[in-house]
A and B are shown apart, each in its own frame.
Chain A
Amino acid sequence: MGGTTTTDSKFKWSKLTSYTPYFFIAPFMTLLIIFNFYPFIFGAKISLTDAQFINPGEFIGFKNFIEVLFADDKFIVSVIHSFQYAIGALVTQIPVAFVLAYVLNNISKRFRGVLRASFFVPCLINGVVIALVFRNLFGKEFGIINWFLGLLHLPNQTNWLGESSLSIVIMIAVSFWQWTGFHMVYFLANLQSIDPAIYEVAKLDGASPLRVLWQITVPLMRPAFTFVMVTSAIGALQLFDLPLMLFPNGTYGPGYAARTLVPYIYDFAFRQDFRVGFASAAGWLVFCIIMVISVLQLRFLGMGNADE
Chain B
Amino acid sequence: MNQDPLLNMEQDLEYNNSLSKKLQRFVGYLVLIIGALICAAPLLWLIDSAFRPQIEIFQVPPVIMKGVSSFATYSLASFDRAINEFNVLTALSNSIIVVVLAIGLTVIVCSLCAFAFAYMNFPGKNFFFMTILATMMLPGVTMLVPYYQVIRTMGLTNNLAGLIIPYAASAFGVFMLRQYFIKLPHSLIEAAKIDGAGWVKIWWGIILPLSKPALAALAIIQFRLIWNDFLNPILILKDEALFTLPIRLQAMDSTNINVPYDAIMATGLITALIPITFFLLFQRQFIEGLTGGVKG
Contact = CB atoms under 8 A, between A and B. Distances in A.
Interface of A: 18, 20-22, 24-25, 27-29, 31-32, 34-40, 42-43, 46, 100, 103-104, 106-107, 111, 113-130, 132-134, 136-137, 139, 141-144, 146-147, 177, 181, 185-186, 188-190, 192-193, 223-224, 227, 234, 237-238, 240-241, 244-245, 248-250, 261-262, 265-266, 269-270, 276, 279-280, 283-284, 286-287, 290-291, 294, 307-308
Contacts of B108: 27
Contact of B139 (A43, A126, A137, A234): A234
Contacts of B33: 115
Interface stretch (B6-14, B79-87, B113-121): B113-121
A240 B141 contact: yes
Interface string B219-232: 00000100110110
Given A35-B150, A240-B230, A25 B113 contact: yes
- Among B39, B108, B227, B264, max chain A CB count under 10 A is at B39
Size category of the binding interface on chain B: 35 or more
Contact of B148 (A120, A137, A241, A269): A269
A259 B290 CA distance: 30
A227 B147 contact: no
13 contacts: A28-B109, A28-B113, A28-B168, A31-B168, A35-B147, A35-B166, A107-B25, A119-B39, A121-B40, A136-B261, A177-B42, A238-B142, A262-B141
A38 B120 CA distance: 27
A38 B150 contact: yes
For the complex of A and B, the 7 pairs showing the least CB-CB separation, nearest first, are A308-B293, A189-B291, A43-B146, A24-B116, A28-B113, A31-B169, A142-B58
B141 A20 contact: no
A118 B40 contact: yes
A97 to B, nearest CB: 11
A276 B145 contact: yes
B272 A126 contact: yes
Interface of B: 25, 28-29, 31-33, 35-36, 38-40, 42-43, 45-46, 49, 57-62, 108-110, 112-113, 115-117, 120-122, 125, 128, 131-133, 135, 137-150, 154, 165-166, 168-169, 171, 174, 199, 203, 224, 227-228, 230-231, 235, 245-246, 249-250, 253-254, 259, 261, 264-265, 268, 271-272, 275-276, 279-280, 283, 287, 290-291, 293-296
Given A27-B112, A36-B135, A121 B149 contact: no
A290 B279 contact: no
A27 B142 contact: no
A185 B147 contact: no
Given A107-B25, A115-B32, A142-B58, A185 B291 contact: yes
A125 B58 contact: no
A216 to B, nearest CB: 18
Contacts of B135: 32, 36-37
A103 B28 contact: yes
Contacts of A270: 148, 235
Contacts of A265: 142, 144-145
B258 to A, nearest CB: 12
Contact of A100 (B32, B131, B143, B149): B32
A296 B113 CA distance: 31
B125 A21 contact: yes
A246 to B, nearest CB: 11
Contact of B268 (A129, A238, A249, A291): A129
Contacts of B245: 126
Contact of B59 (A103, A142, A234, A238): A142
Given A42-B146, A193-B295, 6 more contacts: A24-B203, A27-B109, A40-B146, A124-B224, A132-B249, A279-B145
Nearest to B290: A185
Given A132-B249, A177-B42, A119 B36 contact: yes
Contacts of B120: 20-21, 24
Contacts of B168: 28, 31
Contacts of A37: 135
A31 B122 contact: no
A304 B50 CA distance: 48
A46 B141 contact: no
A29 B227 CA distance: 24
A118 to B, nearest CB: 4
A133 B35 contact: no
A247 to B, nearest CB: 11
A126 B294 contact: no
A43 B143 contact: yes
- Among B133, B142, B227, B245, max chain A CB count under 10 A is at B142
